[in-house]
Amino acid sequence: MIGINTKLANKLNQRIADGSLRTLKNHDGLVDFCSNDYLGLASSTVLEKAIAKEVTNYGPVHGATGSRLLSGNTLLAEEVEQYLSRLFMSEGALLFNSGYSANLALLSSIPQKGDTIVYDQLAHACIKDGARLSPAKRYSFLHNDLKDLEGKLKKAEGNIFIIVESVYSMDGDICPLHDLVILAQRYSAALIIDEAHSTGVYGPQGAGMVIAEGLAEHFFARIHTFGKGMGVHGAAIVGSTTLLQYMVNFARPFIYTTAMPSHGLIALRAAFDHLGDNQQLQQELTEKISLFQNYFEEYSPPQNGYLRVPSDSPIQAILIPGNERVKVVSRQLMEQGYDVRPILSPTVKKGEERLRVCLHTYNSDSEIKGLIATLLSLQ
């Protein structure tokens, strides 16, 4: 009988053989084209001082001591949820430690046996994992393909839940929200959207893509993650008070998890206040995106250069098929001072391996041009 460690080693060796082994790495000192800190809030000294000032008003803030249903609920937590509810134009908001746990909580507890979940095939792993935990039937539809989605809706039974993302994390493209709303109404489907990569980047005070498009009333639930564009930590589900009260009673990832510490709640609110006072950061990011697009297309036309996945978000994917090939290009860019990470299969479909370039307000024009010039020199 093969021992457990031997089986594990065999699986790891298979990853090594196909070039997909993951390891933890630290690349300090490189120009950041990797992180999700699109607006530079995670490293903002102004925000850091604002958080430190607020912390002094609350005493010890480094531990929540228990779940929200035990010792972890505080007046501060409830105040922050009310703050988020106003910002996201919803009846209520419920805090979570991460977007991953929020999606698990929502999808594992709301859709029931006899219901149907239909999700975009490029949805994040936490959406797929949450759907697997539900007793509902589940289907995926071709990415951003509403015709294929409608085909799945015609087979759906019970309460129907459509799950999408506003900005997709690997391609950086955007969901066709207006057409999606029309289709969902035709089939009386409840819309759920993960706003992880749009929170902070879009909408007034970073309220997200749905608010920016004026469509909030059409969504059953929205998941907002704060560890990307907002530069802090945690997440929230926003929706009706009935939905959120149900989750307090039935969502296991909420019930049995230690609450966010007060320091995280203070940082979260301070980050949104800071963005409200510095809304120009969104425009600065838009200008960086335009510079990257224009410079890349000018110097790397598709017929004889790298293929860029069309995207108007800060996530820009450059397809370089093959795990080994894309890892080599990433390593060469790092040797030249640019932190750009490879995305390998099976994280993305085999043959669609890519460099995932993340743009930020703090990337200078010369750094962006230098990255593209260096990449093109590696062809």
Q: What is the pLDDT of residues 98-150, one digit of tens each?
A: 999 999 999 999 999 999 999 999 999 999 999 999 999 999 999 999 999 99
The pLDDT of residue 304: 60
Cβ burial 201-235 (10 Å sphere, 16+ → b, else e): bbbebbbbbbbbbebbebbbbbbbbbbbbbbbbbb
Q: Cα 214–220–223 angle (5° rounding)?
A: 80
The pTM (predicted TM-score) of the whole model is: 0.94
The pLDDT of residue 302: 63
DSSP 303-335: TTSPEEPP-SSSEEEEE--SHHHHHHHHHHHHH
Tell me, what amino acid is at 9? Answer: A
**Under-70 pLDDT residues of the chain:** 1, 301-304
Measuring CA to CA, which residue among 137, 127, 207, 198 is closest to residue 164?
127
The pLDDT of residue 301: 66
The pLDDT of residue 25: 82
Q: pLDDT tens digits, residue range 181-231?
A: 999 999 999 999 999 999 999 999 999 999 999 999 999 999 999 999 999
